[in-house]
Structure 1
Amino acid sequence: MYIIKKVLGKIEDTLRKSFIRELGANIHNKRLRARLTNDNFSILCPNCIGGTMYKKLGKQFLSPTINLWMTQRDFIKFAVNLKEYIKEDLKFVETDKNYPVATLGDIELNFLHYKTEQEAEEAWNRRKQRINYDNIYILLYYRDGYTIDEIREIEKAVCRNLVLLTAKPLPLDYAQYIKPRLDRPNGDSFIDDNIWGTRTFEKQWDFVGWLNSDKNS
């Protein structure tokens, strides 16, 4: 059984790098883009999922929360008090991590996809100028042991739509249940993909429909 799993794993890894995979992903992404009616939207989120959405839809990053991560608690504070935090300057700090880490007021930003502080700061400052405050979409996770009451603080944020991705069904209108794949890297963030490049979150949640919707209408 172990040998079979190992062989299948190698086959899957090969397919992930194949032309067929790329072709399938391109066809799928074209379908997503054809359905999208919204434009110039800013996705605020606490990890890399926002960047994945922008790339699939072929849209410019109109958000500074790309290629970084922060805790849910820090993200909620950031989203609720967005304009105040955006005025703050990044202050990089020494850590044992192999990527830049900075504070923004009293929250911490982990720039895990950047090699240098300068690169991270330039990307942050460039993208924060692009925020469309009239077309903000907020995504967060039910994780890290936070209570429902703590999560509900996000309801104070100003946005056109809001979603809470959760591996546990919750009695909230904006909660989206997604079954995690804990056997895959990033499975608990729902951004693991299959051999065709399709992410778990998009197989179980219509994120294009979410971007096309306005909770205030």
Structure 2
Amino acid sequence: MIKDFFIQKLYKRYYDRFSWYRIRSLQNKNFSIISNNCWGGQVYRSYGLPYTSPTVGLFIMPKDYIKFISDLPYYLEKDLKFIHRNQSKYRIYLEEHVDHNCPIGILEDIEIIFLHYTSENDAYNNWNRRKKRVNFENVLFKFNDQNLCTREDIEAFDLLNLKHKVCFTAQSFPELYSCIQIKQVQDRDFVPYYYEPIGRTSDFNVTEFINNMIRNV
């Protein structure tokens, strides 16, 4: 969509233009974001921070993501292997939504779609280097409603015993405390990553949320 193309351009311009203000406002600078999509990498770049998470430039399907974060230390200890696209349990979805052959990693039963990588070697090296940087005492778990996400998935995420978590959704879920509706896309089925907030927006203040992670330990 033409509109989405310009939204993505504005998104990049926004975090580039106002990065000085976000960096100055950020007090909590040693945090890790475990995200189901590319949002974490965008946030690190918006603050001019290094990646202290392996979930950068990739996405994880909802049920796999929830299982992954339910026992994060366990899965991060597993050696990342790779499978062919035809072996993926999400083969049909990938054929319909991913227009190139990107690496598909696997941690036991968890599949990781390395969307923005061109080789398994790069994906493997970046994953292993960045997983060592995870600050398990200061983690933000972020989810959203894309990639075949169901209400049951959103409810399962909300029930997880994780201290700092947020889920961006197109629809309103007032009964679920971790859900933040992105009103710009309330007429859509899900929130595209470039509509997810960085810094401060009318829907959510990312800087404030990250700062509060060290105030509410």
TM-score, scaled to structure 1: 0.77
Residue matched to 1:174: 178
* Inter-CA distance 183–112: structure 2 relative to 1 (3 Å threshold): farther
Shift of 1:159: 4.4
| Cα distance in structure 2, aligned partners of 1:139 and 1:9 | 22
Deviates more, 1:24-33 or 1:56-65: 24-33
- Does the 8 Å contact 1:99/1:112 carry over to 2? yes
* Inter-CA distance 178–159: structure 2 relative to 1 (3 Å threshold): same
Shift of 1:181: 4.3
Among 106, 122, 125, the residue aligned to 1:103: 106
**Aligned pairs, how many?**
195
1:146 aligns with 2:136: no
- Does the 8 Å contact 1:180/1:188 carry over to 2? no
1:44 aligns with 2:29: no
Shift of 1:157: 5.1
Residue matched to 2:126: 123
* Inter-CA distance 213–113: structure 2 relative to 1 (3 Å threshold): same
Structure possessing the higher radius of gyration over alpha carbons = 1
- Structure 1: runs of 5+ lacking an equivalent: 1-5, 193-198
CA RMSD of aligned residues (A): 3.1
Deviations 1:171-194, CA, capped at 9 Å, x for gaps: 11221110254999xx944433xx
Deviations 1:89-144, CA, capped at 9 Å, x for gaps: 11111116511011111010000111100000000000000010100111101352
- Structure 2: runs of 5+ lacking an equivalent: 87-99
TM-score, scaled to structure 2: 0.77
The runs of 4+ residues in structure 1 deviating greater than 6 Å are none
| Cα distance in structure 1, aligned partners of 2:49 and 2:162 | 19
Among 195, 201, 205, the residue aligned to 2:197: 201
Amino acid at match of 1:59: L
| Cα distance in structure 2, aligned partners of 1:70 and 1:126 | 19
1:113 aligns with 2:116: yes
* Inter-CA distance 9–80: structure 2 relative to 1 (3 Å threshold): closer
Identical-pair percentage: 29
Q: Equivalent residue of 1:213, what SS?
A: helix
